[in-house]
Every structure is written in C-alpha cells, then in structure tokens.
A = this chain, B = another copy of it.
Amino acid sequence: MKVFIEPIGRLINEFTKLPGVGAKTAQRYAYKVVNMTEEEAKNFAESILDAKRKVHYCKICGNFSEGEICEICKNRTAETICVVKEPKDCVAIEKLAEFNGVYHVLHGTISPLNGVGPSDIRIRELLERIKAGGVKEIILATNPDVEGEATAMYISGLIKPLGIKVTRLASGISIGTDLEYADEVTLARAFVDRKPM
C-alpha cells in the first residue's frame, strides 16, 4: 500500500525539486494545492508556465527580460555598468533605487575547482560593450567570496588598461551589527579599508 495517492505523490515529488524543500515541506505545499480552488490552482500552474515561456535573457546585459532588450537597457544610459554574478543580484540592487546605471550579468563566477574559466562566463560580452564606447565606470559587484573576488580581480586586470574607471563594492562590518559578532575576515578587511573622517 503506497502512502500517497498518485497525483499527490507526484506533486510532492515536484515540490521537492525546489531549493531547500524537503519531503515534509513538499507535503505541506501539496496539501495546500489540493485545498485550493480550481481557479487558484489554474493560476498557479499558469504562472509557472508563463515564467518559463515569457522570461528570456536581455541580449545586452544578460538580465531577465520579457523582450529581446530589457527595460533597464532600453531606458538608461550605459555610462556606468554594474557587473554582477546573477540576475537576482540586479534585483537586490534595484530594490535600493540608488543605482541608475545599467547592469552586466556574468551568469557565474570564475571557479577553477568547478571547471568554470573566464571564457565560460559573459566576460567577452562585457569587453565588447566597453569597446562600443561611452562607458565611464565599471562597478564590480560580484559577491565578496573567493570566486567573486577572483572574478573581480580578473576583470579589473582586463579593463584598467583600457583607461576606464573600475570600482569594487565596499566590504566591511554590516551596519547595525556588533563588532563582537563580526567574523574575523570581515573585521580585518574593515581595518585595512578604514577611511578618514
């Protein structure tokens, strides 16, 4: 005797494919779906198909886009390009509403251990954008981890000779935290990068 009837078992299995979802959580989600109205379930299913069907990558920056060129590339000047690892990083920065330049999504970072070299991520496309002219600053906003730092160093080495300003997001102690709880590497970095006031 199987524990779940087939349609529920199948749905649970689908939910476990989502990141961080185990059997118990998937089960809760599946029960929720069974208890939805027909209309709600239809909307849910359609939104999944839609996200897959309608979401493409912008030909210029590599960010999510409904059309060939994303709204950001269409509406902003490309004087400052913020280089990020993944499309979701653009979302995090857009939420600030502080940056009004454009993005360049690398779709990965250099990681020799995982077999990802400079030619596997969108560095060539970045250089082409720069060569097309008009770019004044490149902000390297890859994550402050080993791969992100290595990628930033690598790109910086390629772009600086072109005479373009290259900056990197500041690392240091998070605002609002206690010095006591800052990790050692971050605290050490905050010392090295201390600034006059």
Contact = CB atoms under 8 A, between A and B. Distances in A.
Contacts of A53: 7
B27 A48 contact: no
Using C-beta atoms within 8 Å of the partner chain, give the interface range for chain A.
35 or more
A11 B47 contact: yes
A34 B3 contact: no
B45 A94 contact: no
What 3 pairs between A and B have smallest CB-CB spacing?
A41-B52, A45-B45, A11-B51
A10 B47 contact: yes
A89 to B, nearest CB: 11
A19 B6 CA distance: 22
Interface of A: 1, 3-8, 10-11, 13-14, 17-20, 25, 27-34, 36, 38, 40-55, 64-66, 70-72, 75, 87-88, 91, 94-95, 97
Contact of A19 (B28, B72, B75, B91): B28
Given A43-B14, A45-B46, A32 B19 contact: yes
Given A27-B88, A88-B27, A5 B72 contact: no
Contacts of A64: 5, 8, 34
